[in-house]
Amino acid sequence: MSTYLLIGTAIGAVLGFLHMLSIFRARLGRPGLAPIKTVWQGIWTWFLWTLFGAYVLTFWILGAVFLGASKLLNRRQAAP
């Protein structure tokens, strides 16, 4: 369990970091947008991804399982 939490958190941290960079790229230097707000938004984004990384991973896995099952069922129903 702790390994799973660690993996999920690590994935969240990586995605969050990339998300933070994308926010910086889109907003920093743009007229009308406060740099402090951008940095604060970016840091929070990274933090939230890291905090909820394991939960997001869980829902992603559940989604992948149910989506796969749903596609399989639909294919079987569509088969003659």
> What's the chain's Rg over C-alpha atoms?
19
Gap between the Cα atoms of 74 and 76, Å rounded? 5
Instruction: Report the amino acid identity of residue 76.
Output: R
Position among 64, 69, 72, 73 found at the interface with other proteins (CB under 8 A):
64
Does residue 41 bind other proteins (CB under 8 A)? yes
CB of 76 to other proteins, least distance (A): 19
Query: In 10 A of CB 46, how many CB atoms?
Result: 21
The binding track of 1-30 with respect to other proteins, each residue x by CB under 8 A or -, is -----------------x---x-------x
Query: Are 53 and 16 in contact, with CB atoms under 8 Å apart?
Result: yes
Query: Where does this chain bind other proteins (CB under 8 A)?
Result: 18, 22, 30-34, 37, 40-41, 43-45, 48, 56, 59-64, 66-67
